[in-house]
Amino acid sequence: MKKLVLLFTLCLVAFIAFSQEIKESTFQSIIQEVTVFLSGAQVFETSSGQVSAGESFILIKGLSPYLDEKSIQVKGMGNFTIQAVNKRLDYLSEQKNGAKLQALQDSIYEIQRNQSIESARLEVLKEKTSLLNANKNIGGTQNGASLTELKQAMDFYDAELMKIKTEELKIQANIQNENSEMNKLRNQITSMQASAYESTSEIRIRVKADRAGTANFEINYLVANAGWYPKYDVRVKNISSPLSLIYKAEVYQNTGVDWKDVKLRFSNGNPNQGGQIPDLEKWELNFARLTTFNRRTQIFGSVSGRVTSASDGSPLPGTTVIVKGTTIGTVSDAEGNYSLTLPNGASQLVASFIGYQMRQLPISSSQINISMMEDMQALNEVVSMGNALQSKVAGMDISNRERRMSAPQMKVEDASGIATSVIENQTTVEIEVAEPYSIKSNGERTLVDLKNFQVDASYRYSVVPKLDDDAFLIAEIADWSKYSLLQGESNLYFEDGFVGRSILDGSSLQDTLEISMGRDRSIVIKREKNDEFSKKRAIGSNTTESREYKITVKNNKSQAVTINVEDQIPVSVNSDITVEALALSGGKLDSQTGKVTWTITLAPGAQEMLSLQYEVKYPKKEKVMLD
């Protein structure tokens, strides 16, 4: 009897629990705004629908699987109370292929069907070749063939075999092209799907309402696998004209959700400092036995290469490649190719792609190909989580997984009447684009014009002939902080021609921003050692060595130019070694660093010779290295 009572009680509890199961309603959401950071993005969505009386769950489905749960903020408008908000991965939702994705898959199937026909044709041609070879003997063992028959047979064999070989080569070329095309299609599908094993995210909002009514929500959250890189076009017509500076954003996103007609904001960061003109390091002179040589990293102005999968060698379009510690970066194109201009001090590249292990590579060459390994651990975690989730029933208790949170006010900015506007926050600067943009979740690069400045600039040339024989044109911009610039790659155009790429160092702490406009070979530089003056002689217990270098600077331009020239003399770090500057042609010597600088103005066609003379004295029994 007790067992029957216990069984009845359990059934009654189960019935009451079932009858009181919290109702779930799915709301559709629309992305309205996206704030793109240098790495990551903040997505702002709106959603509305009907809420039931009592407690219920509002489900916002179809969100990015890379949504950061801790960043979710929800604001509700209506006669209800938000009790809790949490994120859940939705592995049970059916992944629907769009029309474009289905078209890509159909194209692959069509190519495969065509290759089956071509393979069959190759087999037929192979059999024809075997048949010709088996019957190429003319005549029997008793009777030989006449010359006419022999010639006819040879012509027939030659013509037929040539036809077969020509057709074989054509089919093989077609198959090769088709394989390449299928590879491109598969990569495009991979980029569009992000990963075949990924789920979508859903936000679960637990609400309580006294009565049924309309509910409106404003939701924002952070997502990964998105970002932007500053890019610039710097144009100078001549050194008497203002500088034209076009500020652009190279945007990428592979979040799994397309951004359709959204308002974009680009958030400024704190990029590291960089430089472009070679810097002279301090030259410490000591005895040879105490001299150590630091291996200097080879200086490369740029790096390029191809990103491929380590498993099959296929290209990986949409891979982000950045210079570690900077905002210099790009995204690989459809063939997996990338190219970057390097700032001074660049030492490592960082490559990342969804589903693959992040790689860091030393910059040891101007050509670096990157092979990416699949991240099997992450894949296994996704599959394990999916299996665990599917094993649970719909009525499970999720209260321990809910995260209670407040609903802070969302900041809504008024639309700007110009192309872009700058919003200065407490710690960041945002550039808002008035026109809506659509950016697909495929990792492709999208260039967005932010600002076009006409800037008053002064120009000078900088030369370091010990390190480089070319002159660099430097544009100087005063009061540049008002432009909210970041460190980024710049395309340089001078005198209506493309002259190369450089780095615009928007992180500089100087009052004047210097933009390297690249090399100008109209300024000719030559540095030569004067062997007649450069001698070594012994005086008493000491050895004295003298050096002289002649620096010739010529202006082949049609207008006068101002040129800064840098060179150096060694700096002694040993009391037994003395260094004396003899003649510097009016140059200014910094005794701490040994740098010698000249500022000269040359008329059109003029040239000037600078002399750098110094003398070094040290004990006779020791050696120093001056060359």
7-63 tens-digit pLDDT: 555 554 444 444 457 788 889 999 999 999 888 899 999 999 999 889 999 999 889
Q: What integer best gives the mean pLDDT of the chain?
A: 79
Q: What is the mean pLDDT of residues 210-223?
A: 91
For residue 580, what are its two tokens? 């004396």
Residues 361-385 pLDDT 10s? 998 888 899 999 987 665 454 444 4
Assess whether pLDDT exceeds 50 at residue 423: yes
Give the separation between CA 190 and CA 14, rounded to whole angstroms: 46
Query: Which range among 117-121, 272-276, 485-489 shows the weakest confidence by mean pLDDT?
Result: 272-276
- Please say whether the dihedral angle defined by the alpha carbons of residues 4, 6, 8 and 11, taken in this order, is positive or negative: negative
Q: Higher pLDDT residue, 397 or 143? A: 143
The upper half-sphere exposure of residue 499, i.e. CA atoms within 13 Å in the direction of its Cβ, equals: 20
* pLDDT score recorded for residue 8: 52
Residues 22-38 pLDDT 10s? 788 889 999 999 999 88
Give the separation between CA 442 and CA 439, rounded to whole angstroms: 9
Radius of gyration of the chain (CA): 36
Give the separation between CA 209 and CA 202, rounded to whole angstroms: 22
Please state, in angstroms and as integers, the Cα–Cα distance from residue 51 to each residue in 58, 60, 577, following that order: 8, 13, 87
Residues 279-331 pLDDT 10s? 677 787 877 777 665 554 455 678 889 999 888 888 888 888 999 888 888 88
Specify the pairing of strand 542-555 against strand 536-539. Answer: antiparallel
Alpha helix stretches (DSSP H) within 345-423? 376-390
Task: Tell me 422's DSSP state.
Answer: E
Which element (helix H / strand E) includes 154? helix 147-193
Distance, CA of 118 to chain centre: 40
Assess whether pLDDT exceeds 50 at residue 107: yes
Assess whether pLDDT exceeds 90 at residue 551: yes
Distance, CA of 617 to chain centre: 52
Residue among 191, 173, 172, 171 nearest 183 (CA):
191
For residue 355, what are its two tokens? 């589903």
37 neighbors 68 (Cβ within 8 angstroms): no
Please state, in angstroms and as integers, the Cα–Cα distance from residue 353 to each residue in 213, 227, 438, following that order: 44, 13, 22
Q: What are the φ/ψ torsions at residue 544 (nearest 5 degrees)?
A: -120, 130
| Straight-line distance from the first to the last Cα atom of the chain, in angstroms, rounded to the nearest whole number | 107
Q: Higher pLDDT residue, 418 or 315? A: 315
Residues 77-93 pLDDT 10s? 999 999 888 887 765 55
Give the separation between CA 14 and CA 81, rounded to whole angstroms: 28
Task: Tell me 107's DSSP state.
Answer: H
Distance, CA of 503 to chain centre: 15
447 neighbors 231 (Cβ within 8 angstroms): yes
Query: Which range among 532-541, 568-577, 592-601 shows the weakest confidence by mean pLDDT?
Result: 532-541
